[in-house]
Amino acid sequence: MARTDKIVGYSPTGKLADVTPDLAASGVETAFRMLEGRWKMVIIFHLFDRQVLRFSELERAIPGVSQKMLIQQLRDLERDGIVERQIYAQVPPKVEYRLTDWGQAMCPALDSLLEWAAQKPASPADPAPAA
């Protein structure tokens, strides 16, 4: 896995071993920054689960979130092309949110991360899970 020689640029294969540490780091960091935020994951998973949700539905589905944060993180996700917003010009406003195709496409990656996290060996300093 490890490599010691230099690589010229950003590998289109996306393999970590093919890019320099800084390039790979910045690439993954960029992806991370899109997803970091107290509520983005919750939003994403709810949309992944329900496919399409209105603002108020999301608000109710996520207890503890403020409208500001909800709208803010939704905007971010929208701006990053992860979620789509559909507005209906109605008397009671109606806005639907759903994942974009690309947004759906990140689920395997999240899967990997979830699996990795689940494989965590009980750290030596962890509190023993006694009864």
Estimate to the nearest angstrom the gap between the alpha carbon of 54 and the chain centroid.
Answer: 19
39 binds DNA (CB under 7 A): yes
Among DNA, its own copies, none, partner that 85 touches (CB below 5 to 8 angstroms by kind):
DNA
* Count of CA atoms in the C-beta half-sphere (13 A) of 112: 4
Least distance from C-beta 59 to DNA, angstroms?
A: 7
End-to-end Cα, the chain, rounded Å: 41
Query: Under the criterion CB under 8 A, does residue 44 sit at the interface with its own copies?
Result: yes
For the residues of 18-35, what is the DSSP string, one character each?
GS-HHHHHHHHHHHHHHH
User: Site residues (CB under 8 A) for its own copies?
Assistant: 1-4, 12, 14-16, 20-22, 24-32, 34-36, 41-42, 44-46, 48-51, 61, 79-81, 102, 104-121, 123, 125
